[in-house]
């Protein structure tokens, strides 16, 4: 399970350092693609495979399922780490997520995936989520 928040600068080539704490749980077969709230996500192999198994073949899929399959896969690339522990985000991924060259991003542990957010958007999202934390807990956590 991934947890924690780290801030790193994206270089001009789109390379991003991934925290050492996360790298061990992101083996070969991990993929970087899109996630909810216009964040990028790094999916470990088991999570990526699980997603693929949940999506039906195009001919039996609903229009929404086909759309999800297309955008998820069209913006996916293997998460390949260089010697410094960096991954390269594609230009399409950075454009979609609003990540500018030489900007700072928040790399967050989000349970089964690692998410990558433009720093200002993460700060805004987190502030709002923290402001309604108790309400959300009461809605999400089932009381028995």
Give me the pLDDT at residue 22, please: 97
* Amino acid 143: pLDDT: 61
Rounded to an integer, what distance in angstroms lies between the CA atom of residue 121 and that of residue 44?
24
Helix spans in 90-132 (H): 91-97, 119-131
- Whether the model clears a pTM of 0.85, i.e. scores above it, the answer is yes
Mean pLDDT of 117-126: 97
Its CATH architecture, for the domain 5-119, is: 3-Layer(aba) Sandwich (3.40)
Give DSSP secondary structure letters for 30-58. Answer: -EEEE-GGG-EEEEPHHHHHHHHHHSPPG
The residue to which tokens 């997603």 are assigned: 51
Residue found under tokens 């934390």: 133
Least confident of 28-32, 82-86, 103-107, 137-141: 137-141
Q: Supply φ then ψ for residue 114, to 5 degrees.
A: -105, 130
């Amino acid at each position: 399970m991934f947890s924690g928040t780290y801030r790193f600068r994206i270089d001009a080539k789109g390379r991003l350092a991934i925290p050492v704490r996360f790298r061990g749980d992101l083996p070969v077969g991990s993929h970087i693609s899109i996630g909810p709230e216009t964040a990028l996500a790094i999916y470990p192999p088991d999570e990526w495979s699980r997603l693929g198994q949940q999506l039906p073949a195009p001919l039996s899929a609903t229009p929404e399922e086909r759309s999800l399959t297309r955008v998820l896969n069209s913006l996916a690339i293997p998460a390949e780490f260089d010697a410094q522990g960096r991954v390269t985000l594609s230009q399409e991924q950075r454009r979609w997520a609003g990540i500018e060259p030489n900007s700072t991003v928040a790399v967050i542990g989000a349970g089964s995936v690692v998410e990558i957010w433009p720093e200002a958007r993460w700060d805004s999202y987190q502030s709002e989520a923290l402001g309604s934390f108790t309400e959300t807990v009461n809605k999400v956590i089932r009381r028995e």
